[in-house]
Amino acid sequence: MKRRDFSKLMVGAASVGSVLSLGSNSRGAQAAVGAGSNLAPVERAHRKEWAREHFRGFENVLVASFTPDRKSIDEAGIRLDVRKSIEHGFFSSLISPAGLSHEEFKQVMGICVDEAHGKIAIGYAVDPGEHSEVLDLVQHGEKVGCQHILLDVPREGSADELYNYVAAISETTNMGIYLWMAQIHGFQRFGPSGIPYEFFDRASKLPNIIALKVGNMDPAVLFELFNRYNDTMLIGALWPNIMPMGIQRYGQQWSGAWTVEALQSPEQPYAAEFFKLMLAGKYDEGMKLYWRYVVPGFGAMMKLMGKYMASGAHPWELIKFYQFAVGGNGGPMRVDKAFPDIPPVTEEDMNFVRGVYAKLGIGTTKLPNEAFRVGAVNWEQGLRPQTN
């Protein structure tokens, strides 16, 4: 992001705050809930308490399904993936904006909340962008009944500028907000630990900043984050090798959003059960599942995805195939404009994934790999991939 573009974002953040000051009283500081949601409204001031109660376990990523011609979203496929997320035992599903237009993204929010029926929290990721678009996404998500957002921050700027960006958006919504810390954010500019202390010290005190997604696996960094911030924003370590210590010693109670489906199926939810057992203090039982399923499943996933994720990219088609393999919809993906060079999933990739599940003793879909190309719902209705 160019410096002048970042400055525009900061000006936009100030404008967001102005919108709040004009409109907050009429809103009554009460979160709207969509017709399909059974989750109670939560005021901004109580979001940290809400997170302590509800952010428990794993959150997966929901990547939108598209029609085979990629011209429209596939509502039936999206609804299937929401139902499967519930069956997996995840506490939440986070909608990715990958491949979606602004208006499609808003449509998907409503579809997911409606299908969830309050059985799973629905959140969504908000990337840095034009302030009017960011504000519109935040307001719409709250209106239809989403519970929280992953708020990504600009890749440059001072600690004060990052805080001002987050604070301005925080003030416009009652939804919970969690932040993200990964190599792609360039936080090493703030010091050797890569922790932007000044930014996090202030942001973590905002009433609806509820958690921090951490992509770093350095034990010293996690030690700092747990000790300094877990009381004000729940630390969600992504790497499984951190979780046993994080849960037992430091009170980690969630991890997300990532492809947890790589470790389990709805019928055999071993990763979700591992986390549940660890939270309950049943460490011996939990660690048996950890060594049997979590470690090899995660290792195999990183063998495929690690080369992309190191640069901050996400191989969306591969993620969707993991979900398809254990009952999800799958289906074609549009090119990720941020990372257009990521190749599509191959037959070799698909067979590798199925082979890993087989070694873990986890059953996979009876649908052929070919069905992934059109999506499970469409395949069951008789649609087949077009051949050139």
- Can you give the residue ranges of every domain in the chain? 31-56+91-258
Alpha-carbon span 146 to 122, nearest angstrom: 5
pTM of the entire predicted model = 0.90
Answer whether CATH 1.10.10.10 is correct for domain 31-56+91-258: no
Cα–Cα distance for residue pair 242/252, rounded to 1 Å = 10
Instruction: Give the list of residues 6+ apart from residue 257 with CB closer than 8 angstroms, or none.
Output: 59, 60, 61, 92, 93, 94, 123, 125, 150, 213
The H or E element that residue 108 is part of is helix 102-116
CA dihedral 25, 105, 378, 301 (to 10 degrees): -110
Whole-number Å distance between alpha carbons of 307 and 165: 31
Note the pLDDT tens digit of each residue in 247-300: 999 999 999 999 999 999 999 999 999 999 999 999 999 999 999 999 999 999
Q: Residue-wise pLDDT tens for the chain (388 aa)?
A: 444 444 455 545 554 444 333 333 323 333 333 333 446 779 999 999 999 999 999 999 999 999 999 999 999 999 999 999 999 999 999 999 999 999 999 999 999 999 999 999 999 999 998 889 999 999 999 999 999 999 999 999 999 999 999 999 999 999 999 999 998 898 999 999 999 999 999 999 999 999 999 998 899 999 999 999 999 999 999 999 999 999 999 999 999 999 999 999 999 999 999 999 999 999 999 999 999 999 999 999 999 988 877 666 788 999 999 999 999 999 988 877 766 778 889 999 999 999 999 999 999 999 999 999 999 999 999 999 987 6
